[in-house]
Structure 1
Amino acid sequence: MTDVHTTLNTAADARVDVAIIGGGAAGLSAAVTLARSLRSVVVIDAGEPRNAPAEGVHNLLGREGIAPGDLIAQGRAEAEAYGARMLSGSVAHVRRDGDDIVLELEDGDELRARRILLATGLRDELPDVAGITDLWGTHVLHCPYCHGWEVRGQRIGVLGTTPMAMHQVLLFRQLSEHITLFTHTMPELTSDDWDTLAALNVEVVSGRVGELRSENGELRSAVVDDGHEFAIDALTVAPRMIANSDLYEQLGGELSENPMGVFIETDFAGKTPIEGVWAAGNVRDVGAVVAASAMQGLMAGGAINGELATEEARAAVAARAARTA
């Protein structure tokens, strides 16, 4: 990403209409929307996308299978073409100063914004299983719509950590006849669960999985605590998804929680309860795929522009009234 730290030394450059923290699908979509409305926009991004390990982005119409890095590069170029500025780095601290929100960058520079959009994504808390991190995003998966086609027909394990494991069994069973449910730490199966598993010919392995074994980057097996080893080609898990919310909390924001994880609650367009602060993408919707995140960025960008336009119109009315008084 283009580094523009050196351009933040003048007052004009150091105050913008909107500062967007996070340069993924949500942040860049918002940047395009706002820049096309002639808003001054800076996107601040640390270059650590959640989907970096994935080979491709799926279910994104017109861009099916595009590499995540290529999608981001194209999005940046589109935003910059309309006048948005890209800033490489991260925000260390944020505070309110009058009507502005002041962002202190990691190198000490400051940027003032009338509005901020948090598009900071989330982090995945994976189960404590040896070898799972090295395979995350390639052979250890969580979403049948993001990765299911790529493992169709293979031997797929489902790691049971929550009641959602049964839902994953149903979705991945659509993609393969070779499904194994490892009960791991999930709640006890009900009689209805057992009937479903039997009807679908799903193998059930009781006990915790202690290790995943791989060879040359390929998943080979799951080993349970009693030492038994089960051959699988892919493993689906339900990670705990935690919004990257430090900046929101610095401004006094409180987080919400659902069975999938922790997130920033917003209205339909992405406005948070904190004045001037908006959110889009996985930071507000832990289940959002790339297409949904991009849509949320567009909606938030449009709503922010509308709010600023209304504010400016009211100021113009007040100024006119003052002149004619």
Structure 2
Amino acid sequence: MSTRKEDLPGYDVIIVGGGPAGLSAALILGRCRRRVLVCDSGRYRNHAAHEMHGFLSRDGIAPSELRRIGREQLQPYGVEIREVTVAEVRREDRRFELTLEGGERLVCRKLLLATGLVDRLPDLPGLAAMYGKSVHHCPYCEGWEVRDQPIGVYGQGCTGISLAVNMKTWSDDVVLFTDGPAGIQKAEAQRLERHGVGVREARIARLEGRDGMLERVVFEDGSAVERRALFLKTTLEQGSDLARKLRCKVTDARGVETADKHEETTCEGVFVAGDASKDVLLAIMAAAEGADAAFGINCALQEEDLA
């Protein structure tokens, strides 16, 4: 016999995602005496990172330790956390029905998507083993650690050129690797030369190093360039398709778009926080967006409760 919707476990808010954005929102909402469930799939964008930087009072902490502390601080407020993936979601009237992997169904009044992004790495031999150790996508997160060392930038077009020039903030020794002819225009070449950025357009055969630490970039012709770190712009994809299933506006450039203040999406009652909205992609910003979304959610619930 099927379970009636009115008999399903209900929450004021279900938060999909257990990173800094989701946990920050859960803290605010728990303190507002809301019944909150955090669904944490265990997949995190910074899974390869050993340390997290730029987070006031927690600079250098392991991402897993930040999550542990965050969960611990939720305990007094009765926030429920489950290690589970949300497989489906649909809206009915003013409530949302979620189906978990395994088939369990839940309902909530408001929904927060803190599902993050996924980085797609280039298919370059040796890169995967070095990602998070000496190959990085965020100079604000890892630039200080390799300051004044020989740095490489992997990329093509304006994106690669801009990243290479920006890395001069952290080192005077920067080389742009385009992994093949890049068609760099005269003005772009002059910009790179003006800022002292070297360029190698040869095809890359592999990255070499030990224990995940880059030592050299080796080209197909057998030549090599010594480097100690490599930065690149990854291809970003949404960590979940739940926003699209709810018909929220999602674009490649901006991610899940917000329609108004306090992180509400174009779908009423659905909020977004963290990297999924493609603002400044830093953990401390994700936490701030989670708090902002929680404020908006609680205000919306208050309006309904007091109507």
TM-score, scaled to structure 2: 0.92
Contact 1:131 1:211 in 2 (8 A): yes
Structure 1 CA distance, aligned partners of 2:38 and 2:109?
Answer: 14
For 1:319, the equivalent position in structure 2 comes to none
> In the alignment, what sits opposite 1:283?
276
- What does 1:72-87 align with in structure 2 at a 5 Å threshold? 72-87=67-82
1:206 deviation in Å?
A: 1.2
- For the pair 1:93 / 2:91, whether they are aligned, the reply is no
Q: 1:209 aligns with which of 189, 201, 204?
A: 204
Provide the identity percentage: 36
Partner of 1:234: 229
Structure 2 match to 1:266: 258
How far has the Cα of 1:197 moved from its partner? 2.4
Q: Quote the Cα distance in structure 1 between the aligned partners of 2:218 and 2:124.
A: 10
- Residue number in structure 2 paired with 1:317: none
Please give the residue correspondences for 1:17-166 in structure 2 after superposition, counting only pairs within 5 Å.
17-166=12-161
Q: Structure 1 residues 287 and 125 mapped into 2: Cα distance closer, same or farther (>3 Å)?
A: farther
Amino acid at match of 1:121: G
Unaligned runs of 5+ in 2: 1-5
Q: Give 1:187 deviation, angstroms.
A: 5.0
Structure 1 range deviating more: 204-213 or 63-72: 204-213
- Large movers: runs of 4+ above 3 Å: none
**Gap change, CA 1:208 and 1:253, over 3 Å in 2:** farther
How far 1:192 moved relative to its partner? 3.0
Contact 1:117 1:280 in 2 (8 A): yes
Partner of 1:294: 287
Shift of 1:131: 1.8
1:186 and 1:295, CA in 2 relative to 1: closer, same or farther beyond 3 A?
farther
Equivalent AA in structure 2 for residue 65 of structure 1: G
Gaps (5+ residues) in structure 1? 1-10, 315-325
CA distance in 1 between partners of 2:206 and 2:94 (Å): 53
- Displacement of 1:281: 0.4
Q: Which whole-Å CA distance do the structure 2 matches of 1:250 and 1:223 have between them?
A: 44
Separation in structure 2 between the aligned mates of residue 92 and residue 101 of structure 1, nearest angstrom: 13
One-letter identity of the residue aligned with 2:294: G
Give the Cα separation in 1 of the matches to 2:50 and 2:213. Answer: 14
Structure 1 residues 287, 131: CA separation in 2 closer, same or farther (over 3 Å shift)? farther
After TM superposition, the structure 1 stretch with the greater mean CA deviation from structure 2, 220-229 or 268-277, is 220-229
Q: Which amino acid aligns with 1:18?
A: V
Greater Cα shift, 178-187 or 202-211: 178-187
The CA RMSD over aligned residues, in Å, is 2.0
Residue 66 of structure 1 aligns to which amino acid in structure 2? I
Specify whether residues 165 and 290 from structure 1 end up closer, same or farther in structure 2 by C-alpha distance, changes over 3 A only: same
Whole-angstrom CA distance in 2 between matches of 1:220 and 1:308: 55
CA shift for structure 1 position 179: 1.1
Residue identity matched to 1:125: R
Paired residue secondary structure (2:252):
strand
Query: When the two structures are aligned, how many residues end up with a matched partner?
Result: 302
